Amino acid sequence: MLDNMSPAKMNELIPLLRQKNPRIKLEASGNITLETLRSVAKTGVDYISTSATITRAPWLDISMKITA
């Protein structure tokens, strides 16, 4: 798992890791945003996990406020 790494750092590490084990599966996670998703995907990782679709989504606040 490549956690909280910049795409530049991933580009550095991925070839080294693949050289050691070409069959290794690599996942990027941590600080993956919708803005950085494409650059992370271009690094060649096999999986990307992000919570941005939930934590950074514009939520509709639906509430029922009762005043006496």
Question: Which pLDDT tens digits describe the chain residue by residue (68 residues)?
Answer: 999 999 999 999 999 999 999 999 999 999 898 889 999 999 999 999 987 666 666 766 677 778 87
Structural domain containing residue 38: 2-55
Please state the pTM of the whole predicted model. 0.73
Whether 14 maps to a domain, the answer reads yes
Whether 43 maps to a domain, the answer reads yes
- Residue matched to tokens 């494409």: 38
Burial class (CB within 10 angstroms; exposed 0-12, middle 13-18, buried 19+) of 40: buried
Whether 24 maps to a domain, the answer reads yes
Pairwise CA distance, residues 6 & 19, whole Å: 20
User: Which of 39, 37, 46, 33 has its CA nearest to residue 2?
Assistant: 46
Whether 7 maps to a domain, the answer reads yes
Whether 37 maps to a domain, the answer reads yes
Domains contained in the chain, number: 1
